[in-house]
């Protein structure tokens, strides 16, 4: 979607917030994927094929740990209460606390020494 929208807008840059250091089986979080996708962007868009535009894929968080990402976001004023990482939230919108994404998030907040402001399903996360 971002690639198609970038072409419509004549934008040269797409940013993605993946990181590889805490990679846990997500192949699209690897630098090799980002590089490959950037090459694909040149082949998959009219602007790229015609040589009118060179789309760049930026992944500024790719080499940061989850703790470093939490610290950076906090320094920039990110309200993590508006974010959700869970792949299996409850019907009430609570994070499950058990999926890989929740575990990586919890590890990141703990490593940064910052309390995670999202609500988790009762009993899934130690106090």
Residue 125, pLDDT above cutoff 90: no
Residues 46, 87: one domain? no
Are residue 70 and residue 60 in the same domain, yes or no? no
The verdict on 53 and 86 lying in the same domain is no
50 and 78 in a single domain? The answer is no
Query: What domain range includes position 60?
Result: 1-64
Domain boundary among 32, 64, 96: 64
Tell me the C-alpha distance between 33 and 13, whole Å. 16
d(CA 117, CA 100): 18
pLDDT, tens digit, 9 for 90 and up, residues 10-46: 899 999 999 887 666 778 889 999 999 999 999 988 8
Q: What is the pLDDT of residue 92?
A: 93
- Neighbour-count burial of 13, counting CB atoms closer than 10 A to its CB (0-12 exposed, 13-18 middle, 19+ buried): exposed
Q: What mean pLDDT is reported for the chain?
A: 90
Q: Is the separation of the CB atoms in 67 and 111 below 8 Å?
A: yes
Whether residues 46 and 97 fall in one domain: no
Task: Write the DSSP symbol of residue 91.
Answer: T
Instruction: Tell me how many domains the chain contains.
Output: 2
pTM: 0.81
Distance in angstroms (rounded) separating the CA atoms of residues 88 and 19: 21
Q: How confident is the model at residue 89 (pLDDT cuts 50, 70, 90)?
A: very high
Do residues 60 and 83 both lie within one domain? no
- Residues 48-64 have pLDDT tens digits of 898 888 899 999 999 99
């Amino acid at each position: 979607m971002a690639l198609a929208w970038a072409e419509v807008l004549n934008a040269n840059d797409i940013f993605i917030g993946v990181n590889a250091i805490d990679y846990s089986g997500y192949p699209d979080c690897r630098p090799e994927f980002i590089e490959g996708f950037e090459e694909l962007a040149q082949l998959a868009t009219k602007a790229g094929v015609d040589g009118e535009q060179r789309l760049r894929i930026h992944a500024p968080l790719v080499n940061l740990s989850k703790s470093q990402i939490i610290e950076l976001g906090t320094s920039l004023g990110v309200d993590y209460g508006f974010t959700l990482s869970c792949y299996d939230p409850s019907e009430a919108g609570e994070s499950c606390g058990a999926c890989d994404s929740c575990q990586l998030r919890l590890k990141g907040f703990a490593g940064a020494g910052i309390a995670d402001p999202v609500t988790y399903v009762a009993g899934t996360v130690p106090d």
